[in-house]
Structure 1
Amino acid sequence: MSNAWPQLLEQALVRQERAVDRYQRWRQAAATPELGRLLDEIARQEAEHLEFLRHVEAGDWRSYLNRRPGTFQPAPDRSRELLVWTFPEPDA
């Protein structure tokens, strides 16, 4: 699996770049403000995912995740590619 990782990452980057472009094109063609807002949010999430994949490709995913409001931790029983998102407790 480790030999396939760079190829899988490259495929994920290409798919994610296409998704970002697609949602941006759809946003430009949105007929209603509600649809436009929905597509803006989807495009934002897709762009954030693409940014994360680029950090993974650069081997720098920890610094990306350290900027997030929660914490990412490697799962203890899986490979380092598997990440578990843990959210901080909300303030009471």
Structure 2
Amino acid sequence: VNNKWHQAFILIPLFLLLIIFSAFVPVEKNKSGETLYNLYCASCHGVSGDGDGELAYLVYPKPRDFTTGKYKIKSTLPGNPPTNQDLFNTINKGMP
């Protein structure tokens, strides 16, 4: 009996840690950018990125039209497109 309690005393906390840390594993790590855009962005920015998504009328200011090539937040000089890191930061951190 003592051995079973000892095993339970070790296994139950390990099982709980496994459950807790599995919640922090990004489920969407392998999804494509297009899949994520369609899931989280297209409803406002539109499927083609022109700012006319089905929920765009609910947002003020109006969602940005990505098809114009104009970006509000970037680290590059005027006339140059944003870097991949600029886009990553804007998507992950949102607008300042």
TM-score (norm 1): 0.32
TM-score (norm 2): 0.31
More helix by share: 1
Q: Which has the larger radius of gyration?
A: 2
More strand by share: 1
